[in-house]
Structure 1
Amino acid sequence: MTVTSEEELEGLRQIGRICANVLEAMRNALEPGITTAELDALGRRLMEAEGARSAPELAYGFPGATCISVNEEIAHGIPGPRVIRAGDLVNIDVSAEKNGFFADTGASFAVPPVDPRIEKLVRDGKRAMWAGIGAVGADKPLRGIGNAVGLFAKKNGYSLVRNLASHGVGRSLHDAPEAIATWPDRSERRVASNGLVLTVEPFLSLGADWAENGDDDEWTLYAEPMAPTVQYEHTIVATRSGPVVLTLPS
């Protein structure tokens, strides 16, 4: 989607705030003993209270309002009876629709106590995302996102999952442009137009460079090779003044 009016921008800001506030509430509820189904139910209640609908459920029939991935799961985890335990690494991905506008956000959280390496990975995952966001702007090449994230990862000794990409968003959950690499990609030749709405969502890892389907269901993705992996995501508008982040909590 490309924003063409203040009305469109306000619609995106509204759904962006909803997604961000839901993610924040789920983060605050995350503790040992809670199940991923209970976390998901909280997310659903908060979305519905704001008149929003789960985007993955709406667009793809995903069996949950949010995606919650734990430890070996790195994306698209199905909420269910799994109990959160101390030391777990949990990714929560929240995307929703309201009044025809979509936004998408996510973050990874370590449930204490955790290994210091995981604590650092969590901190650096967020830093990697912001490095990518800093490369967003009208008339800037989209490859700048992957170059910035790749430089950060290389400098700090991390790998990047290279088959889970950023994407356009706004009028649908996955909008044009598709498959925006969050790793260096010399073949990328596209340029961000003024008002382009997109996500920036790198997957930073302690060794994984791919995401693979498991045997249990058609949704959950696992790190390959198996290694701790985090993901952070914001929905952004590319403007001539730089990136405008839509998914910040109120």
Structure 2
Amino acid sequence: MIQLKTREEIELMYESAQLVSKTLGILAKEVRPGVTTLYLDKIAEEYIRDHGAVPGFLGLYDFPNTLCMSPNEQVVHGIPNHKPLKDGDIISIDCGALKNGFYGDQAFTFAVGTIDPEIDKMMRITRQSLYAGIKKCKVGNRIGDISFAIQLICENAGYGVVRELVGHGLGKEMHEDPQVPNYGRKGSGPKIEEGLVIAIEPMVNLGTYKVKFHNDGWTVTTRDNQPSCHFEHDVAVVNGEPKLLSTYKYINEALGITSNEEDEFLYNFMHD
């Protein structure tokens, strides 16, 4: 059952999502060759707790850490460890926080040093598909319109769109209805209504869309061991239109990236 949110609840979720965004911004300054994912995990946990929240993933379904850290061929749900990142790696960092009784949930794939241009292109196209999906998150559309928009961009570029893992509703639970696949048909799925809050998160592979689930119960890799990337935003439907609760602003500032991709989706709860 889909739990639509009131304006007051959306404002609380905005706080949660923004804390996750700021956490990723802090991590953006630290991602470099030689750093371990456990080091990054410790930074994230301390930052979240210092700002009046608790890590959203730590202990959720018995997950052992604050961050899901998924390098290279890992798609999602990688467990932080002592292995140093290397020049040329990519690393998906998925972060959650629980504040004021509501979750924020966001992911970004970072380049470690200098990466292969083909992998960089995949990351840019996937990020583009995320915003194409967000644009479809409006009253009058259906979830399948979001899914189709993401799939079209990624598959037209020759990439594999993961089927077994999907986006989701978000609120007092980390995973709520509806599921938000990154593939699908226009006009299919649940209707998008005022107050819907969802996490849209394309997971896209350089090769096949097929994945492998590992025996640790968490790690998911591409079946052909080609690299994968993952981008995620929290989106609320306000006055019929998509509004971002999360942001990549802090990551962009840390990495020196200039971007206007979020401008049309900015949420100002004093005026919206």
Report the TM range for the smaller structure's normalisation: over 0.9
Change (3 A) 1:192 1:58: farther
State the SS of the aligned residue for 2:110: strand
Q: Map 1:128-147 onto structure 2 (within 5 A).
A: 128-147=129-148
Q: Residue 4 of structure 1 corresponds to which residue in structure 2?
A: 6
Aligned-residue offset at 1:58: 4.2
Matched, 1:236 2:235: yes
Q: Residue 121 of structure 1 corresponds to which residue in structure 2?
A: 122
Q: Map 1:82-121 onto structure 2 (within 5 A).
A: 82-121=83-122
State the SS of the aligned residue for 1:9: helix
State the SS of the aligned residue for 1:227: coil
Aligned-residue offset at 1:111: 1.2
Q: What's the CA shift string for 1:110-156, capped at 9, x where partnerless?
A: 21221110111111121111111111012311100111011111322
Gaps of 5+ in 1: none
Aligned AA (1:91): S
- Alpha-carbon RMSD across the aligned residues, in angstroms, is 1.6
Q: Residue 222 of structure 1 corresponds to which residue in structure 2?
A: 221
So what's the TM-score if we normalise by structure 1? 0.94
Aligned AA (2:22): N
State the SS of the aligned residue for 1:57: coil
CA distance in 2, matches of 1:171, 1:113: 39
The number of equivalent residue pairs is 247
Task: Tell me the percent identity.
Answer: 30
State the SS of the aligned residue for 2:94: strand
User: Does the aligned pair in 1 maintain the 2:54–2:99 contact within 8 Å?
Assistant: yes
User: Does the aligned pair in 2 maintain the 1:75–1:91 contact within 8 Å?
Assistant: yes
User: Does the aligned pair in 2 maintain the 1:110–1:122 contact within 8 Å?
Assistant: no
Gaps of 5+ in 2: 251-272
User: Does the aligned pair in 2 maintain the 1:139–1:194 contact within 8 Å?
Assistant: no
State the SS of the aligned residue for 1:97: strand
Aligned-residue offset at 1:69: 0.7
So what's the TM-score if we normalise by structure 2? 0.86
Q: What's the CA shift string for 1:10-59, capped at 9, x where partnerless?
A: 21111011000001111211011110000000000110011111112243
User: Does the aligned pair in 1 maintain the 2:145–2:188 contact within 8 Å?
Assistant: no
CA distance in 1, matches of 2:5, 2:104: 13
Aligned AA (2:6): T
Q: Which moved more, 1:75-84 or 1:151-160?
A: 151-160
